[in-house]
Structure 1
Amino acid sequence: MYKNILIIKMSAIGDVIHALPVAHALKQNWPDCRITWVVERAAYDLLTNNPDIDEIILLDKTKFKSLSGIINHAPEFSRLLKSRRFDLALDLQGLAKSAAVAYLSGAPNRLGYCNMRELSQLVSKPVCGAHKDGHVVERYLDVVRALGCSVDEVVFPIHITSEEQGQAEAIARQAGLDIAQRYVVLAPGTNWPTKCWPTAHFAKLADLLYDVGIIPVIIGGPGDRRLADEIVAGAVIPPVDLTGRTTLKELAFITKRASAFVGGDTGPMHLAVAVGTPVVALFGPTDPRRNGPYGEGHKVLTAPVDCVGCWKRKCGEKGRCMETIDVEKVHKIVTGVIIK
């Protein structure tokens, strides 16, 4: 049994969500262990008020972007980590930056998951378990299993306070949404252009949802403003637009109360899974077997093209595969998920 454990999963939002079951499983097996999590600012809110996490250490990556920044700040950060006296570090990022954190932690035991990159496997020992070719959630949990722990239930612990709930309801009301109504969350943004379903498709879907009495609600970060504007402009009746107006926890609450979620391979999609909302996921360049919505009750539509699952951030001569996912088919599946 390890008593003082460091989890390193710093970004992105979806990746941090995927790793949440690791903290829960460790606490279920070793209730007296202390868990510290190193995370960057973008995903920090996901970890707050989490009963499975004893301490959150924020890594300000802006301090480490240059050689002088590393020289100036790495010693102080290392002293902070070593003062916690970790006996185990779990590098669930598997990149050079997370390997540096694992090394600086001073933990005598360091493990990572299968498919580590950027030489991070030289710092932490990769664990390739029974799910090494499966969903990334299970790949992370294989690390827990390798420690001798059982995983009886996969839990995504996200704790939303009453204050966060109240603020989310107020933001929704200001935008014209009563969360007691039946609504579907639409997430047009992704971190790769090739993973985006066209905004014209989202606009048409929004109109179809309105036709059957379901309110479409656009969500996303400030960087998704252009996409949201295009959807609003393209729809006959403008959807409710919450783009850039919520924190992660407020978004989690609004998504939790939704009847369904529609979007691509993106953090908000995995957030919907974590809070128990049925997902209709749209996939093209990435593999839903690895990155799709985890668990039962979700639907996945993949682009009907030969090059699906190419893992390309930029598309070649064949055009954007996401355009080939039919709006009417998405609408039929969404309404089926809601009505069943």
Structure 2
Amino acid sequence: MTYKNILIVKLSAIGDVIHALPVAHALKQTYPNARITWVVEKPAYDLLTNNPDIDEIIIFDKPKFKSLTGLLSNGYTFSKLLKSHHFDLAIDLQGLFKSAAISYLSGAPKRLVYCNARELSDKISQRICGNHEDDHVVDRYLDVAQHLGCNIDQVQFLINITEVEAQKAETIANHAGLRLENPYVVLAPGTNWPSKCWPTTHFVELADILYDNNIIPVIIGAPNDQRLAQEILSNTKIPPIDLTGKTSLKQLAYIIKKSQAFVGGDTGPMHLAVAVGTSVVTMFGPTDPKRNGPYGRNHRVLLVSDSCQGCWQRKCPKNNDCLARISVDTVFAVVQQEVSERQI
């Protein structure tokens, strides 16, 4: 069957939207004449702009729909907008009630949802379970594309950084004291779960060691990571370059792309590093790298040895900081190897 208007529903978060990018690419390669529209929330919008695989982006402004009044005043208009596109296929890669509702409101006669759907979203759309239902989430999403006849031999994370965006990133870096032609490593101390954070004291020690080895440490993160950044800046012998909260997603992607390596936990910027081809050194404790670790082989995952690894607890009920037992020396040894290989 040939599709003319395809809707992808993947709303958030940053890492999750990156994971879904290969589906858009696979669809465009298989159905080059199809118009592909993506519904996304504002925080991840920047990731999708200027992407040749995506013809239109519709923003789902989540705050407008949180109250009953907001739902009543905005729901009809949003539904009308979706139906005006005459979608013949909707693909729900979020697998939650809100994404199922968007898929349903689109009016698409064929609706698919990936295998691990929740919140009754599989009652709205047909659940697609392929050969990778227990594997990495990227492969689970691609099972849906394969179901539609797409070739998925080459997995592509296409994030199109324009020349203007690259120049702005250069300017921001220069103002902070960083020249992108010098060897540097990006450090991401923040995550959305307390249990996924490597201790700031470890980042302090690592930053000092990097400087001692002529590698510039650069702290990155969202505005709400500034407290962690300040803790590192206040305790290092030489403060790292701090770009926390100073860049857009595309500008951050460019800065990560130019770096020698990425160091951090299970967080959106880690997946951004994967997408732009930068080597990742990451520490995993409560989450499972098999499911949502850095995709591909050219990355290093350092796992805690605790029996409760992969507990999926946002905050440890035992007050156990398991990631603290991944030593700075261990992380630096891996980073040093990645930097040496990149400089060859």
Counterpart position of 1:322: 323
State how 1:120-135 maps to structure 2 within 5 Å: 120-135=121-136
Structure 1: 5+ residue stretches without partners: none
Q: Which residue of structure 1 aligns with residue 59 of structure 2? A: 58
Name 2:309's counterpart in structure 1.
308
Alignment of 1:266-277 (within 5 A): 266-277=267-278
Which residue identity does 2:297 align to in structure 1?
E
Mapped to 2, the partners of 1:318 and 1:173 lie a distance apart of: 41
- Whole-Å separation in 2 of the counterparts to 1:304 and 1:312: 16
Residue number in structure 2 paired with 1:162: 163
- The 2-side partners of 1:2 and 1:151 are apart by 18
For residues 31 and 122 of structure 2, the distance between their equivalents in structure 1, rounded to whole angstroms, comes to 26
1:265 corresponding residue in structure 2: 266
Letter in 1 for 2:305: P
1:146-295 equivalences under 5 Å are 146-295=147-296
User: 2:108 — aligned with what?
Assistant: 107
CA displacement at 1:5 relative to structure 2: 0.3
Q: Secondary structure at the match of 2:63?
A: helix
SS in 1 for 2:18: helix
What letter matches 2:240 in structure 1?
Answer: P
- What code does the residue aligned with 2:197 have? C
**Mapped partners of 1:339, 1:137: distance in 2:** 29
- Aligned: 1:73 with 2:74: yes
Question: In structure 1, what residue type is equivalent to 2:280?
Answer: V
The 2-side partners of 1:145 and 1:43 are apart by 25
CA contact (8 A) 1:286 1:308 kept: yes
Task: Report the 3-state secondary structure (helix = DSSP H, G, I; strand = E; otherwise coil) of the residue aligned with 2:39.
Answer: strand
Cα distance, 1:46 vs structure 2: 0.3
Counting only pairs closer than 5 Å after superposition, residues 15-30 of structure 1 correspond to structure 2 as 15-30=16-31
- 1:36: which partner in 2? 37
SS class of match (1:89) = strand
Q: Deviations over 1:88-142 (max 9, x none)?
A: 0000000111011001100010001111111111111111110100000000000
Gapped regions of structure 2 (runs ≥ 5)? none
Contact 2:14 2:268 in 1 (8 A): yes
Percent identity, aligned pairs only, is: 64
Task: Give the Cα separation in 2 of the matches to 1:77 and 1:270.
Answer: 30
Q: CA deviation at 1:317?
A: 1.7
Query: What amino acid is aligned across from residue 326 of structure 1 in structure 2?
Result: S
Query: Which deviates the most, 243-252 or 311-320?
Result: 311-320
For these two proteins, the number of residue pairs brought into alignment is 340
AA matched with 1:208: I
Separation in structure 1 between the aligned mates of residue 99 and residue 77 of structure 2, nearest angstrom: 16
SS at match of 2:218: strand
Deviation of the 1:181 alpha carbon:
0.3
Structure 1 match to 2:140: 139
Question: Runs of at least 4 residues of structure 1 off by over 3 A?
Answer: none
Give the 3-state SS of the residue equivalent to 1:140 in structure 2.
helix
Matched position secondary structure for 2:187: strand
Counterpart of 2:95? 94
Q: CA deviation at 1:21?
A: 0.4
- Indicate if the aligned counterparts of 1:113 and 1:127 stay in contact, CA closer than 8 A: yes
SS at match of 2:58: strand
CA contact (8 A) 2:30 2:149 kept: no
RMSD: 0.7
Cα distance, 1:152 vs. partner? Answer: 2.2
The one-letter code of the counterpart of 1:324 is R
Residue 279 of structure 1 aligns with an amino acid whose one-letter code is V
1:303-332 Cα shifts (integer Å, max 9, x gaps): 121111000011022511111111100000
- Which residue identity lines up with residue 124 of structure 2 in the other structure? V
Q: Distance in 1 between matches of 2:282 and 2:127?
A: 30
Residues 304 and 325 in structure 1, CA contact (< 8 A), matched pair in contact too:
no
- Between the aligned partners of 1:234 and 1:113, the Cα distance in structure 2 is 45
Q: Distance in 1 between matches of 2:149 and 2:25?
A: 15
Query: 2:225 is paired with a residue of what secondary structure?
Result: helix
Contact 1:9 1:39 in 2 (8 A): yes
